[in-house]
Structure 1
Amino acid sequence: MMDNQSILSALDSCKLGLRLNTDAGIPGFGDPWHAQAFGTSLALAKAGLFTWETWVTTFSAEILANPQHIDETSEAAYYRQWLAALETLVGNRGAVSDSEIGETSEHWRRSYLNTPHGKPIVLSRAWPATDKMDHHDHDHDDDHHHHHHHHHHHHGDDVRSPVPIAVSLARM
């Protein structure tokens, strides 16, 4: 098992290096999570979870197996591939299970959906497992008529959780 203190100290040195590069005018990362993914990979390698040679081999294999999509920027493809390679290595080394990765991804999705527009997303495991749109306290299985209207649009058992949407740039 990895020593948490060695991971934390490796992350601290990664953060320092990133700050020094930015202060020196060296281009940074496109998004904060890009720097976090990079720093996490370095920290895990420094902590001994994998060698840098293993990282390069795994990352190269991911790039070959899942190349840039036609509607994706090279930067978006690079970090998608980076994260997939990191997940592969962390999973193969037994540091976390596929179910833990899936659960954490789901908590991020719920946190995203419950964050007000324009506010930073804060990971919370407190959001309910189902994002039901129907929050009234009676069922619809009886034959009485209501004198109020529910603003839900699902019917039957097919209750789906809301999902994030993506908007692509218009093409000229």
Structure 2
Amino acid sequence: MRTINAIALAYDSAQDRVLAVINPGGLNSWSYWLTRRLILQLLGRLPAALAATSKVAKQAPAEYRGDLAAFEREVAVAKTAPAMSKTDDSVLRMNATTAELAVTVALKDMGETLRIALIGERGGQAAGVMSRPDLQRIIHMLELEVAKAEWVVKPAPSAESGPAPKRLVN
């Protein structure tokens, strides 16, 4: 099993998947293809799970918990920004040729840290222990790749919502 020290994500339009490269450029690098279904499931569950386990949010009145969880996320993204670097396209291309399909992403809450594990269809495994801000950063990175892929489309206004309000001109 490989230990996750760094991760790079890149949407590949030809594959319509996100390439996740573990430890890019390192001797112990490994790569996975993350499908739309897997990523959207993660993004549907992880932010809520992090918000529910936030010590800061738990101490606040219920009506402020969502705002505090959002603030905690913004702080985490800002705090981890200095550690961000761009992975060279040649490294991504090289890893794309050997990537395996990710079939499982497991997360275990360990109090102050979280353990994340990826398992591929050919048995490749990578795992690492990270802080809450690091996981918040990965969620943010996934959201950016989903936006590039245009996987989430805003729903069109339904007929039930009625006609658009008329614009008043003076």
Question: If the length of structure 2 is used for normalisation, what is the TM-score?
Answer: 0.24
TM-score (norm 1): 0.24
Structure with bigger RCO (C-alpha 8 Å, 6+ apart): 2
Greater share of residues in strand: 2
Larger CA Rg, structure 1 vs 2: 1
